[in-house]
Amino acid sequence: MNHNQPVYTDNDPQNELVTLNLGPTHPATHGVFQNVIQLDGERIVSGVSTIGYIHRAFEKIAEHRPFYQITPLTDRLNYCSSPINNMGWHMTVEKLLNIQMPKRVDYLRVIIMELSRIADHIICNTIIAQDTGATTTFLYLFQFREHIYEIFEEICGARLTTNIGRIGGFERDFNDIAFAKINKFLKEFPVALKEFESLLNRNRIFIDRTSGVACVTAEQGLDYGWTGPLLRSTGVDYDVRVSEPYASYQDFDFEIPVGTTGDIYDRYRVRNEEMWQSLRLIEQGMEKLKSEPAGIFHADVPEFYLPAKEEVYNNMEALIYHFKIVMGEIDAPKAEVYHAVEGGNGELGFYLINDGGRTPYRLHFRRPSFINYQMFAPMSKGMLLSDAIINMSSMNIIAGELDA
Amino acid sequence: MAEVTNNEIVQALTEKFGGQIIGVNEPYGLLTFETTKDVIIEVLRFLKENTTTNFNFLTDITAVHYPEKKHGIAVVYHLHSMVQKIRIRVKVFIDEHHPTIPTATVLWNSANWMERETYDFFGVKFEGHPDLRRILNMDELGVHPMLKQYPLEDPNRVDKKDEYFGR
């Protein structure tokens, strides 16, 4: 048997079923996903997911890169919220090196991570609406994703694959324009989000398409390893930010929204509510920053924090540290560490084994999209094809994170 | 509910499995131990179904290759108890020339793709797995690329001319 061929169950003795090759490049799937499905009319009888179309061997590459060069690899996992991946990686290394962050850096990180969570959820929720036929909401809310990218651009110079921050803090302090843009966003976005909700929350067509479709129980969700908004929509209040707080999330006051039935409508509502909570977190972060000493944007760990370029040219110590960090000669303990952050789609874990060499001995990414997606084919059985399409949208599978 | 400490978990495990639980330590507070492939499913089942440990969630399965060790492939399981808010790491070292281990899909459906990924990259054969095929790489690859004997492409190679790639 050729292993690349999807496996079919022999449930079609009279050859009445239609085999449909959905993907790998299909406009309805928003990414490189292939599903070979067997259809009885419009109903799906069975399906097989084939993944790996944009596999880039990040885990192998990471074994050949010093720590600071792995950050750009993490950008390309969930590219809809790269800053969360970047900071998850930074925090993993900081955990390995036992570096404590100043509070101000933690708050800056929380602000950036919550902005990217909003960007991530904007994409998912507007695309559910788009796939149910509501183009207005998609075009309307997407401009705020642009505003978020402008904030990132102001801080790190990049928009999508951000490479934001460094191990030990940020590469530079936020400037006034960045803070002004965040404040502007905090003022304008709630209005738009409210309007977005009023267009969809009680929209008859939207509810008919999403409510009661693709229901998942908490047991099924846990059994299939779901995390993030998908698991919370089934009623399990698991959020890494609360269960194992990192980056001083314990200082913040926020709520974890949960759903009841785990259907598409619940997932949409959970994500929307999370955007409101993210706004709360950003507001609190901006408030907390006022009482922190200004100008601190990295921890005082010169042996691990990549120094500024002017320092490297003018200062002997900085030159030495720069050389050692770039060559991967930092003095990291020989240990293994697992660190998880709450990504846009769920628990994003980094399992890092350091053996004292220049590069990680092994680095494994626990990618939520990969683990969430495996339920898609089994749960599509018996579903209408058009429901399966919005089901996939509501799972917010990001191809980069799926394939690593 | 009272918090369960790592010590209590180790105690419960050694009571049940005796000498099969070895190499217990706690790097960065995460309880880690090794066991053997004969009892791994029983250990995982005990951790999952025992009401005091209650590790209901399988976070991750992966493998690590140590070419210089006698049993050169470590299959690593990360479990998580959402109730107790603790994690645990279980390792099984297996022979890299005959890498077989029983499948954990009997306990969690999420193990399915994680084990396929581990098979794809390390060649670990999970016995009893319902659909053990490659998942991310193409079938014609012929090797299990995360093993340490396969290097990355040499960046200095000269036979790859830029003009063939439109650069």
Contacts 24+ apart (CB under 8 A), B91-95: B91/B23, B91/B32, B91/B33, B91/B34, B91/B35, B92/B34, B92/B35, B92/B36, B92/B37, B92/B40, B93/B34, B93/B69, B94/B37, B94/B124, B95/B70, B95/B71
Task: State residue B155's pLDDT score.
Answer: 65
Task: State residue A61's pLDDT score.
Answer: 92
A136: in domain: yes
Task: State residue B166's pLDDT score.
Answer: 67
Asked whether residue A331 carries a pLDDT value surpassing 60, the answer given is yes
pLDDT tier, B1 (very low <50, low <70, confident <90, very high otherwise)? very low
- Alpha-carbon distance B114 to A265, whole Å? 29
- Alpha-carbon distance A262 to A220, whole Å? 10
B120-163 confidence digits (pLDDT tens): 999 999 999 998 989 999 888 889 999 998 888 766 777 767 67
A62: in domain: no
- Residue A153 belongs to domain spanning: 99-327+376-403
Average pLDDT of chain A to the nearest whole number: 90
A88: in domain: no
Asked whether residue A93 carries a pLDDT value surpassing 90, the answer given is yes
pLDDT tier, A362 (very low <50, low <70, confident <90, very high otherwise)? very high
- Which residues of chain B does A244 touch, with a Cβ-Cβ cutoff of 8 Å? 85
- Which residues of chain A does B78 touch, with a Cβ-Cβ cutoff of 8 Å? 338, 349, 351, 366
The CATH number of residue A202's host domain is: 1.10.645.10
Task: State residue B141's pLDDT score.
Answer: 86
Contact check, Cβ <8 Å, B139/A338: no
Tell me phi and psi for residue B79, to 5 degrees: -115, 160
The interface pTM score, or ipTM, of the predicted complex is 0.90
Q: Which residues contact A258 (CB under 8 A, 6 or more apart)?
A: A232, A233, A235, A236, A237, A270
Taking CA–CA distances from A60, the nearest residue in chain B reads B146
- Alpha-carbon distance A71 to A65, whole Å? 10
Q: Which of A32-41, A53-62, A82-91, A306-315 is predicted least confidently? A: A32-41
Task: State residue B165's pLDDT score.
Answer: 67
Task: State residue A125's pLDDT score.
Answer: 93
Asked whether residue A3 carries a pLDDT value surpassing 50, the answer given is no
Task: State residue A13's pLDDT score.
Answer: 66
Task: State residue A115's pLDDT score.
Answer: 95
Across A103-120, average pLDDT: 94
pLDDT tier, B66 (very low <50, low <70, confident <90, very high otherwise)? very high
pLDDT tier, A45 (very low <50, low <70, confident <90, very high otherwise)? confident
More confident residue, B166 or A306: A306
Say yes or no: B137 contacts chain A, CB-CB below 8 A.
Answer: yes
Task: State residue A4's pLDDT score.
Answer: 46
Helix (H) or strand (E) holding A272: helix A264-290
A219-245 burial, b if ≥16 CB within 10 A, otherwise e?
ebbbbbbbbbbbbbbbbbebbbbbbbe
Q: Could you tell me the residue ranges of all domains in chain B?
A: 6-150
Say yes or no: B115 contacts chain A, CB-CB below 8 A.
Answer: no
pTM of the model: 0.92
Asked whether residue B2 carries a pLDDT value surpassing 70, the answer given is no
Mutate which of A227, A364, A372 to test chain B, going by most B C-beta atoms within 10 A? A364
A20: in domain: no
Q: Which of A26-35, A165-174, A222-231, A341-350 is predicted least confidently? A: A26-35
User: How many structural domains is chain A composed of?
Assistant: 1
A256-288 confidence digits (pLDDT tens): 999 999 999 999 999 999 999 999 999 999 999
Q: A-side interface with B, Cβ within 8 Å?
A: 2-4, 7, 51-52, 55, 57, 59-61, 64, 95-96, 222-225, 236, 238, 243-244, 335-338, 340, 347, 349, 351, 353, 361-362, 364, 366, 370-371, 374-375, 403-404
> How would you class A154 by CB atoms within 10 Å of its CB: exposed for 0-12, middle for 13-18, buried for 19 or more?
middle
Contact check, Cβ <8 Å, A3/B133: yes
Task: State residue A30's pLDDT score.
Answer: 80
CATH of domain B6-150: 3.30.460.80
Q: What percent of chain A has pLDDT over 90?
A: 71
pLDDT tier, A227 (very low <50, low <70, confident <90, very high otherwise)? very high
Task: State residue A275's pLDDT score.
Answer: 95
Tokens matching residue B159: 């036979």
| Distance, C-alpha B8 to centroid of its chain | 24
Asked whether residue A349 carries a pLDDT value surpassing 90, the answer given is yes
